[in-house]
Amino acid sequence: QHWKDSLSQFKQIEDKSTITKTRMALCIYHGVCAGLAVLTEGILVAPLEGVVNCRIISNEDGSRSLAINYAGPIRSAGGTGQALSVLIGDILRRDFGLVPPQMTWNEIERYKEEVSKYGRGLQYRPSNPQLEIIAKNCPVYIDGEGVGEEVSGQRDLPRVLTNRCREGMLLVLCEGLVLKAPKIIKYTDELGFKEWEWLRDFIPGGDDDNEKITELQPIEKFLSDMVAGRPIFAQPMAPGGFRLRYGR
Over residues 66-111, the pLDDT tens digits come to 999 999 899 888 889 999 999 999 999 998 889 999 999 999 999 9
pLDDT at site 1: 43
Assign 3-class secondary structure to the chain.
CHHHHHHHHHHHCCCHHHCCHHHHHHHHHHHHHHHHHHHHCCCCHHHHHHEEEEEEEECCCCCEEEEEEECHHHHHHHHHHHHHHHHHHHHHHHHCCCCCCCCCHHHHHHHHHHHHHHHHHCCCCCCHHHHHHHHHHCCCEEEECEEEEECCCCCCCCCCCCCEEEHHHHHHHHHHHHCCHHHHHHHHHHHCCHHHHHHHHHCCCCCCCCCCCCCCCCCCHHHCCCCCCCCCCCCCCCCCCCCCCCCC
Q: Residue 2: is its pLDDT beyond 60?
A: no
More confident residue, 176 or 41: 176
For 217, other C-beta atoms within 10 Å of its C-beta total 10
- In this structure, what is the dihedral angle of CA atoms 116, 121, 122, 124, given to the nearest 10 degrees? 70
Mean pLDDT of all residues belonging to the chain: 83
pLDDT digit string (tens) for 112-150?
999 888 777 788 888 899 999 999 999 999 999 988 788
pLDDT at 41: 80
Q: pLDDT tens-digit profile of 204-225?
A: 765 544 445 457 777 777 677 6
Q: Is the pTM of this model over 0.85?
A: no
CA angle at 175 for the pair 203 and 119, rounded to the nearest 5°: 115
